């Protein structure tokens, strides 16, 4: 034979190692094009168990056997014992998100490892998704105590729990609407907080652009503080009513319902919801709703309420436009009209 072939044993292949002749003080080439000289100062290992040079990764791949064992280990139910209420709720939320597939499953599993089991840290991208989940499910992570342990989240007191059991629900806050109303209302406007028969009712008047005054005590509040004060009355279930301006004698012309006045109309509509449903069902012919007639009927509801309770709001410019705006507000409050059906096909004429 012209040339001899070298015989390689299987044992040599299995035990073969490749050693790199690299020491501290040597120069290596880094960068995208491998043309940036860097002097080797030290060797180390990162949190993934991979070798590093000067604190930066040495390889463009990972060696699996060097990685932390918990990455390969299956998470058993035994690992989820003694969870705090927050950790338990987060775990349930993560399971639900895995079914919905809105976020990558690997990211959700990493959040579970870090935030539920306390292993490792989250990347910035994973931290953003974690914060989105907290906001979506309204979860609040327990604050750190002096000892460094997470405190469990606070729960309602017995008094609040008793209130929910008896069915007494606290009214929702309308601070944003009240603040906008207090700021936009013209000078001279008067608003009564509470029923006239209530000895504790208050009458406030806007005396300038930024201040309201209690006509009885002469106390002044700026628009922000007045809105908070009025909101506290509203959350106790007391009436908030407009009263006539000193400088006006005509009703306010409107294209859309006044948001502040709508708070009182909503109560009136809820009491008369059975009759209102009958009024609207008359405008459904062969399964199709006559929207223009519905808008006119809604405007008639408003006029009837305003004429009886507050005549400052009986002047409607365009009944069709006004009625449609009123229906939109009622649908969003799931009052008489079906909010879920509206979200599906964007039609506001579905009756509950």
More confident residue, 140 or 257: 257
- What CA–CA distance (Å, rounded) separates 267 from 241? 13
Q: Does the pLDDT value for residue 144 go beyond 60?
A: no
User: Given this model, what pLDDT does residue 5 score?
Assistant: 55
What pLDDT, on the 0 to 100 scale, is given for residue 322?
A: 92
> Does the structure show a pLDDT above 70 at 52?
yes
The model's pTM? 0.35
Model pLDDT for residues 197-249, shown as the tens digit of each residue? 777 788 888 877 788 888 888 888 888 888 888 888 776 766 666 665 443 44
Q: Say yes or no to pLDDT of 250 above 70.
A: no
Arithmetic mean of pLDDT, 298-322: 87
- Residue range 22-40: mean pLDDT, rounded: 83
Per-residue pLDDT at 58 exceeds 50: yes
Q: What is the pLDDT of residue 68?
A: 61
Residue 309, both tokens: 């309770």
Region of residue 67 (left: phi > 0; alpha: psi -120 to 50; beta: else): beta
Quote the mean pLDDT of the chain. Answer: 76
> Residue 160 pLDDT > 60, yes or no?
no
Tokens of 275: 């009759």
Report the pLDDT value the prediction gives residue 151, as an integer from 0 to 100. Answer: 46
- Average confidence (pLDDT) over 292-303: 90
Does pLDDT of 73 surpass 80? Answer: no
Q: Helix H segments across the chain? A: 10-14, 85-100, 105-111, 124-136, 158-165, 175-184, 223-235, 259-271, 273-281, 291-309, 319-332, 339-345
Model confidence pLDDT, tens digit, residues 322-337: 999 999 999 888 888 8
What letters, b where the CB count within 10 A reaches 16 and e where it falls short, cover 289-316?
bebebbbebbbebbbebbeebbebbbeb
30 or 173: which leads in pLDDT: 30
């Amino acid at each position: 034979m012209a040339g001899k072939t070298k015989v390689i044993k299987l044992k040599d292949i299995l035990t073969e190692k490749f050693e790199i002749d690299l020491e501290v003080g040597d120069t290596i080439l880094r960068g995208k094009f491998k043309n940036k000289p860097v002097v080797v100062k030290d060797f180390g290992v990162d949190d993934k168990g991979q070798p590093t040079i000067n604190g930066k990764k040495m390889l463009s791949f990972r060696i699996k056997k060097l990685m932390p064992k918990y990455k390969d280990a299956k998470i058993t139910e035994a690992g989820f014992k003694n969870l705090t209420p927050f950790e338990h709720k987060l775990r349930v939320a993560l399971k639900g998100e895995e079914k919905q597939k809105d976020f990558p499953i690997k990211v959700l599993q990493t959040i579970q490892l870090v935030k539920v089991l306390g292993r490792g840290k989250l990347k910035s991208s994973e931290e953003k998704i974690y914060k989105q989940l907290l906001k979506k499910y309204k979860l609040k992570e327990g604050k750190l105590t002096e000892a460094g342990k997470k405190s469990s989240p606070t729960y309602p007191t017995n008094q609040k729990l008793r209130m929910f059991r008896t069915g007494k629900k606290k009214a929702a806050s309308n601070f944003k609407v009240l603040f906008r109303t207090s700021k936009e209302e013209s000078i001279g406007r008067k608003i009564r907080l509470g029923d006239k028969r209530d000895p504790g009712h208050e009458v406030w008047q806007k005396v300038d652009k930024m201040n309201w005054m209690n006509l009885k005590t002469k106390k002044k509040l700026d628009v922000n503080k007045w809105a908070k004060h009025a909101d506290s009355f509203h959350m106790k279930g007391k009436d908030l009513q407009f009263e006539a301006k000193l400088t006006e004698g005509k009703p306010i012309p409107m294209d859309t319902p006044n948001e502040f006045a709508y708070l009182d109309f909503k109560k009136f509509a809820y009491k008369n919801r059975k009759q209102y449903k009958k009024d609207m069902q008359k405008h459904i012919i062969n399964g199709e709703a006559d929207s223009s007639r519905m808008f006119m009927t809604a405007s008639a509801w408003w006029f009837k309420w305003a004429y009886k309770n507050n005549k400052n709001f009986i002047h409607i410019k365009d009944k069709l436009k006004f009625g449609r705006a009123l229906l939109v507000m009622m649908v969003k409050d799931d009052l008489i009209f079906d909010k879920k059906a509206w979200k599906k096909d964007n039609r506001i004429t579905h009756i509950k």
